[in-house]
Amino acid sequence: MDHFSTTRLTAERLNESHLADLVTLHLDAEVSRYLGGVRAPEVTKTYLATNMAHWDQHGFGLWTLRTKEGAFAGRAGIRHILVDDIDEIEISYAFTRACWGRGFASEIATALTEIGLSKLALASLIGIVYAGNVASRRVLEKSNYLLERSTIRHGNDVVIYRKRR
């Protein structure tokens, strides 16, 4: 599923041509606040390679998002993540600041959940969020993810939400 679209966004499977947009996104301190902090360009280059390899290995992963006008809006996807040594599958999303507060994250979370639970027939999906990231918690709650537990990840307090098929 290399492409999909929602009402207001188009999604394209991550590829090398997205590096510059991802570097800019990850250099924004506000965007990266709840993503482990600002990432240097070299770190994002490795991130891109890792996430392209995820696609090759699993047949799903991250997509780059654009508005219907073609402007880069962010990235989102479905991917494996080790949480306290357990292999989970999470939904993930991050938008450029210009795109915040317009319901885009809610729109993409709905689409990712449908892809993960219906098309890919995964048993469940999680969302893992810094406890203080109120907007992202709201996104998951609006998509009917249930709060499961709290834990500490890389030294940060996080909460885990889950939605089952």
Ligand X SMILES: CC(C)(COP(=O)(O)OP(=O)(O)OC[C@H]1O[C@@H](n2cnc3c(N)ncnc32)[C@H](O)[C@@H]1OP(=O)(O)O)[C@@H](O)C(=O)NCCC(=O)NCCS
Residues making contact with ligand X (CB under 6 A): 31, 34-35, 93-95, 100-106, 129, 133-136, 138-139, 142
Least spacing, CB of residue 111 vs ligand X, in Å: 12
Least spacing, CB of residue 8 vs ligand X, in Å: 11
CA separation, residue 126 to residues 27, 110, 123 (Å): 26, 13, 10
CB closer to ligand X out of 56 and 156:
156
Least spacing, CB of residue 28 vs ligand X, in Å: 8
Least spacing, CB of residue 101 vs ligand X, in Å: 5
Retrieve residue 115's tokens.
């892809």
Nearest to 78 by CA among 140, 25, 135, 125: 125
CB closer to ligand X out of 110 and 117:
110
Q: By three-state DSSP, how is residue 88 classified?
A: strand
- Strands (E) in the chain, as ranges, are 3-5, 9-13, 62-67, 72-83, 86-95, 124-130, 146-153, 156-164
CB nearest ligand X: which residue?
Answer: 105
CB closer to ligand X out of 56 and 149:
149
